């Protein structure tokens, strides 16, 4: 399995989109989620295979539900 699989790319893009919509930096998101800033960057660039616990932390930090985090974009 290639590290930069499609699901990692989709998830990273979604996190970046939602973070920018909220007008917050990677550093601020990391602080709110109790994660390191470089880890957020690695998620957004699809360089990390994130755990379920950290997915929940990011959703909480973005003040959204897990369902919203995984919603597909309308084409």
Rounded Cα distance, 71 and 35, in Å:
23
For 29-43, write each residue's pLDDT tens digit.
999 999 999 999 999
For 53-64, write each residue's pLDDT tens digit.
999 999 999 999
Rounded Cα distance, 39 and 28, in Å:
12
- Sketch out the chain's domains with CATH numbers: 6-62 (1.10.260.40)
Instruction: Please compute the mean of the pLDDT values over residues 44-60 and round it to a whole number.
Output: 96
Return the residue matching tokens 């897990």.
66
Q: Which of 48, 73, 61, 72 is nearest to 19 (CA)?
A: 61
Q: Which of 12, 24, 6 is nearest to 69 (CA)?
A: 12
- Does 11 have pLDDT greater than 90? yes
Distance of CA 33 to the CA centre of its chain: 10
pTM: 0.88
């Amino acid at each position: 399995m290639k590290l930069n699989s499609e699901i990692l790319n989709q998830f990273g893009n979604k996190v970046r989109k939602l973070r920018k919509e909220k007008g917050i930096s990677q550093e601020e998101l990391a602080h709110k989620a109790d994660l390191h800033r470089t880890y957020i960057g690695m998620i957004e660039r699809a360089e990390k295979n994130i755990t379920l616990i950290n997915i929940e932390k990011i959703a909480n930090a973005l003040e959204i539900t897990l369902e919203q985090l995984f919603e597909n974009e309308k084409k």
